[in-house]
Amino acid sequence: MRQLTEEETRVVFEKLAGYIGRNIKFLIGNKEQPFVFRLQKDRVYYIPDHVAKLATSVARPNLMSVGICLGKFTKTGKFRVHVTALGVLAQHARYKIWIKPNGEMPFLYGNHVLKAHVGKMSEDIPEHAGVIVYSMHDVPLGFGVSSKSTSEARDMQPTGIVAFRQADIGEYLRDEDTLFT
């Protein structure tokens, strides 16, 4: 496990800033319990500093996972956020969409968020911004990218796509064989 390089840190922060914006300072600015970013194989982990120091005593081949897996780097150097980062993203989310109970199951089966399923949404969502999808009971279900701004989404047909799904908690069951390997 090693620290991220400057370029890797920039790529990770740009991707996370798409979902949480300026709230990214809360990820790294906690003085009481500092957190660090570490790279194990091609996966980026968000770990309390004292746990990261303890993890250095474990050999790399023996260390499978530690902390919260935010995502992984692809072979081309791009960063993909995993569903395991949902807790961190939801805690500091900038743009939110709440879906009705009749839209939860289609979303959790891997479909996009339709206008007919939207219960409410943040007022100022721009087009192509990262959004966190919640149930009407404020349970984070996943995240994606808005297809239209909030004002444009209000005028859409009920079958129009409001947000493109990127990850949802249904992946824990659908992709359990490959999620952590």
Give dist(CA 43, CA 2) in Å, integer.
11
Q: How much of the chain exceeds pLDDT 70, in percent?
A: 98
The pLDDT of residue 164 is above 80: yes
| Residues 84/69, Cβ–Cβ less than 8 Å | yes
Same domain, 106 and 169: yes
The pLDDT of residue 105 is above 80: yes
pLDDT interval class at 180 (50, 70, 90): low
Coil, helix or strand at residue 111: coil
Is residue 165 assigned to a domain?
Answer: yes
Query: Measured at the alpha carbon of residue 100, what is the angle toward residues 94 and 103, in degrees to the nearest 5?
Result: 100
28 compared with 101, residue with greater pLDDT: 101
SS3 assignment for 25-78: HHHHCCCCCCEEEEEECCEEEEEEHHHHHHHCCCCHHHCCCCCEEEEEECCCCC
Same domain, 63 and 12: yes
Q: What is the CATH number of the domain that holds 157?
A: 2.30.130.10
How many of the other CB atoms lie within 10 Å of CB of 174? 13
Same domain, 50 and 21: yes
pLDDT interval class at 126 (50, 70, 90): very high
Give dist(CA 167, CA 133) in Å, integer.
10
Out of 63, 89, 115, pick the residue that ends a domain.
Answer: 89
pLDDT at 38: 92
List the structure tokens of 176.
């359990």
Q: What is the CATH number of the domain that holds 59?
A: 3.10.450.220
Q: Encode pLDDT of 25-61 as tens digits.
A: 888 877 788 999 999 888 999 999 999 998 888 888 8
Out of 34, 66, 89, pick the residue that ends a domain.
Answer: 89
Same domain, 126 and 56: no
Same domain, 168 and 110: yes
Per the structure, how many domains does the chain have?
2
pLDDT at 176: 75
Same domain, 10 and 85: yes
pLDDT at 181: 65
pLDDT interval class at 174 (50, 70, 90): confident
Same domain, 28 and 81: yes
Is residue 179 assigned to a domain?
Answer: no
Q: What is the mean pLDDT of the chain?
A: 91
Average pLDDT over residues 15-34: 88
Same domain, 75 and 107: no
Same domain, 29 and 103: no
Q: Which of 94, 92, 95 is nearest to 27 (CA)?
A: 92
Conformational region of residue 111, where left means phi above 0, alpha means psi within -120 to 50, and beta covers everything else: beta
Q: How much of the chain exceeds pLDDT 90, in percent?
A: 72
Backbone angles phi, psi at 66, to 5 degrees: -155, 135
Residue 69 belongs to what domain range?
2-89
Out of 39, 65, 89, pick the residue that ends a domain.
Answer: 89
- Enter the DSSP assignment of 84: G
